[in-house]
Amino acid sequence: MKEKLERLNAIIAEISDIGDATALLGWDQETYMPPGGAETRGQVSATLGRLIHERATSEEMGKLLEELVPWAESELDKDSDDYRIIKNSKRGYDQQMKFPAAMIEERAKLQATGNMAWREARQNNDWKKFEPIMDQWVDFNKRTAELFKPYDHVYDVLLDFFEPNMKTADVKAIFNAIRPKQVELIDAISKKPEVDDSVLHRAYDRATQLKMGEEIASAFGFDFNRGRQDEVHHPFASNLGYGDQRITYRVDENFLNPYIFGTMHETGHGLYEQNVPKEKHRTALYGGTSLAIHESQSRLWENLVGRSRAFWEWYYPTLQKYFPGAVGDVPLDTFYRAINKVKPSLIRVEADEATYNMHIMLRMEIEIGLLEGSMAVKDLPEIWNTNMQEYLGITPPNDSEGVLQDVHWSFGLYGYFSTYALGNLVSAQLWEKIKEAQPNLEDQIRKGEFKNLLDWLRENIHQHGSKYEPQELVQRITGSKINGDAYVKYLQTKYGEIYGL
């Protein structure tokens, strides 16, 4: 049986190599590829995707798992790497096998045409242009759910692609628990005088921003010998295999936030992947375990660290030295309040910590409504605007800043959004445990020392790669499953102090 396991690992190693090459194709496409290369790039990516799919669904793979799974269940320690390798492989195999080849092709085509239609629709504020695509995706995702019957809830199937074993009922319960408390907090803040954040909209020259970002990423522990940072339109982090993690940024020379907090965010993703140990590379345990856990890392560095007073007590003098014109005469407290200004806004990716999750709940309700059939695609703009008014007290002036703002649906990514909010919640759950383990955490941050923090994350999260499913991992670390208590408490304390509630 050991030989069969070795053979399984060899197949996975090959899939991993092709996956690493595919990641480079994707990274290059967003960073340096000339426009003329787009068509060829599409062909090359499709071919590598097909090679991966062939291997992941081969007859050999099926036969190996048929023998290895019962053996693992009866013979192996459930906490052993080998057991988890077999389990993760089986999960991936089952998922891939359920998709008929025709649907994989259908999806690829719909992604291409869907994304093009979305770009045009958003640019021209023309929902009707995107509506037929959305109809097709709803139909496609309903059919996808059918492939995975039985399920407790139709939405479980889609959620599970991004958060293994997470259930719709669980996420709904979590969101239902935090929603009234977040609404209450937002209401209370709205009654206070609006914070002046004009300091963030001054002149911040590009070269100095880049220097600062590299300094901060390095201080957090990002290893530029095993990674790099490049400019793109829409920042992301990409894992090109062991020793090569790439983060990206965009710069606005008249607004400090996008680059600085974006860099902290992507650094968080990069640190996760950089600290998955080498022996997990080319195995079924490599890489972050889920989108929510990944987002817990990016949000932890961006918000829990990067938007904390302690961090800026350390870094603000440097910022003042770098940008004397913009912040030289601005007191730390004014700056700190500016970067933590809470104000309901239209665009999810620009939302503050207190309002962000509301944007997610809105999207999840729509996704569920569409799948359940209680909402119709044609009504989405109206539903969106009504719910924005209800949740955040504002109504988008047009669909481009409303229902058309995100790229995800154009690619058929349903069930993805909730992981952003779950990541926020997990980041606060982890933070409580870290503070228990390191009571002087804030003092460390105040001195610009992040080594112990990173060590804790490496020890508790990064080193495991994708060995543990997200709920299981959070349970192991915190003693509870994912829930919103810590995050709500964090928001209440932080913003209570800032706004004097």
Binding footprint of a copy of itself on the chain (CB under 8 A):
14, 17-18, 20-21, 24-25, 28, 32-41, 43-44, 46-48, 51, 223-228, 230, 240-244, 281-282
Shortest Å distance, C-beta 332 to a copy of itself: 35
Shortest Å distance, C-beta 480 to a copy of itself: 36
C-beta closer to a copy of itself: residue 14 or 106: 14
Shortest Å distance, C-beta 456 to a copy of itself: 23
Catalytic residue among 266, 295, 302, 469: 266
C-beta closer to a copy of itself: residue 275 or 357: 275
Shortest Å distance, C-beta 47 to a copy of itself: 4
**200/260 Cα distance (integer angstroms):** 11
C-beta closer to a copy of itself: residue 29 or 405: 29
Shortest Å distance, C-beta 450 to a copy of itself: 20
Tell me the DSSP string of 317-351.
HHHHHH-HHHHTTS-HHHHHHHHT-----S-GGG-
**228/244 Cα distance (integer angstroms):** 8
Beta bridge partners of 249: 231
**Three-class secondary structure of residue 288 per DSSP:** coil
**206/225 Cα distance (integer angstroms):** 23
Q: Which amino acid is it at 246?
A: R
CB 483 within 8 A of CB 328: no
C-beta closer to a copy of itself: residue 240 or 300: 240
* Torsion angles phi and psi, residue 126, rounded to 5: -125, 85
C-beta closer to a copy of itself: residue 44 or 108: 44
Q: Write the CB contacts of 208 (distance below 8 Å, at least 6 apart in sequence).
A: 322, 323
Q: Which amino acid is it at 274?
A: Q
> What stretches of 78-126 show up as alpha helix (H) in DSSP?
81-98, 101-123
C-beta closer to a copy of itself: residue 36 or 193: 36
Any idea what DSSP says for residue 77?
A: -
Shortest Å distance, C-beta 57 to a copy of itself: 17
**373/361 Cα distance (integer angstroms):** 18
Is 266 annotated as catalytic?
Answer: yes
Distances (CA, A) of 99 to 53, 149, 151, 447: 11, 13, 16, 52
* Torsion angles phi and psi, residue 237, rounded to 5: -120, 145
Please identify every residue annotated as catalytic. 266
